[in-house]
Amino acid sequence: MQTALSVILLLVSIVIIVAVVLMESKQQGLGVIDGGANLFGQSSMSKDRMINRVLIVSAIVFLVAALLMAVIS
C-alpha cells in the first residue's frame, strides 16, 4: 500500500510541477516566453481554466495521498 501511495505522490507531484510551469504569468515577464500560442486552438482563458482545474484536482489528490501515507506509516 505504501508503494502505491508513493507512486501516486510522485506522479501527482510531477503533474503539479508541470501545471505550475504551464501557467501564464499575470505580468509582462517570463509568461510571454511561449509566444502566446494556444493549446489545441483554444483561447488562453480556457487554457488557464484547464490548468487551474488540473492543479486543483492534483493538489487534492496529493493531499489525500499524503494524509493516507501518514496514517499508514
pLDDT tens series, the chain, 73 aa: 899 999 999 999 999 999 999 987 776 655 555 555 555 555 656 888 999 999 999 999 999 999 999 999 8
Q: For cell 504569468, what's the residue?
A: 25
Instruction: Please enumerate in sequence order all residues whose Cβ is within 8 A of that of 30, keeping only pairs 6 or more positions apart, or say none.
Output: none
Domain residue spans of the chain:
1-16+37-73
- The reported pLDDT for the residue numbered 33 is 56
In angstroms, the CA 45 to CA 20 distance is 15
Give me the pLDDT at residue 23, please.
86
pLDDT the model gives residue 37: 52
What pTM was computed for the model? 0.72
